[in-house]
Amino acid sequence: MKLTKEQQEEIKLQQSQENFTKRVTVKDLENLLYEAIPVLDHGFIRVIDYMGDDTSIVQAARVSYGKGTKKVSTDSGLIKYLMRHWHSTPFEMCEIKYHIKLPIFIARQWIRHRTANVNEYSARYSILDKEFYLPSEANLAAQSVNNRQGRGEVLSGDQAQKVLKLLKDDAERTYDNYESMLNQRYDGSTIDNNKPGLARELARMNLTLNTYTQWYWKTDLLNLMNFLRLRVDHHAQYEIRSYAEIMLDTLKKWVPITYDAFIDYRVGGTEVSAKGKSVINNIIKGKDINMEDSGLSKREWNELMSAFDLTEKIIE
């Protein structure tokens, strides 16, 4: 990730601000505020603003006047109870806003989470940065044979180099054509003073999906956790998971008690159906149970066995 000198100065200026407030603040998140945390090759995440903390959740749950009970253990117990029983509205009382730079193809995947306020950099008004995402060889993989959404074996050697060259050449060629159609270079200089440029809203359609875009993404704590629960999972696409893992760290700094409950009950926990519960009960009792008698499909059976580390019972 490269920031211009102007961007670096702007971040320093933002971080040097000191404002008096009667609102709750979180020291660990305040120390991180505005910092550009690198992601992938040219991306970043910045925490721009936030509202509330763990005590705000407790206060909302109890509809009280003060900052919770002032006893961390008691507040922790309540937050765990709320998380365990899927109470949602107290977590909606906290909000956070990020500034994110990401490849367009990840942005289009990300926007499917329709529970945030989003304002994206507009290529109708401005020229997009000449930056493209190119995966490292370690993350350059073939299509999975078993999973239509996933990756299979990692490419290597000449095959990997050929794919990377194709990605880079296509991105650079289409960007050169983008500049030519605009009649304007990335640095702002005009290519031909006697030739009008194509409208930016039309020229942009030629760019590859690994071109970087930027947006401001604001959401409440509940929907942030819903996003992270799906996107930090090992099944999630590597690129979006890279962003989610950094956001998970900001969650830990912001609301540490909620973070612990979230990791315990959402990220590290598992959901079990009534039939699945019956299967586990029978296994605990030492009864011989098989998939055919369980009422579960092969996929449901294997997911249940995997969740409880009963790998010997997984059916190939």
Other Cβ atoms less than 10 A from the Cβ of 97: the count is: 16
Measure the CA–CA gap between 218 and 117, rounded to whole angstroms. Answer: 5
Q: Name the nearest CA neighbour of 171 among 217, 212, 116, 138.
A: 212
Say if CB 246 and CB 45 are below 8 A apart. Answer: yes
Say if CB 97 and CB 49 are below 8 A apart. Answer: yes
Residues, the chain, total?
316
Q: Name the nearest CA neighbour of 44 among 2, 78, 7, 11.
A: 2
Measure the CA–CA gap between 255 and 26, rounded to whole angstroms. Answer: 8
Catalytic residues: 231
DSSP three-state, residue 95:
strand
Q: Is the dihedral of CA 75, 77, 83, 89 positive or negative?
A: negative
Q: How far is CA 133 from the centre of its chain?
A: 16
Three-point CA angle 139, 140, 141, nearest 5°? 105
Q: How far is CA 98 from the centre of its chain?
A: 11
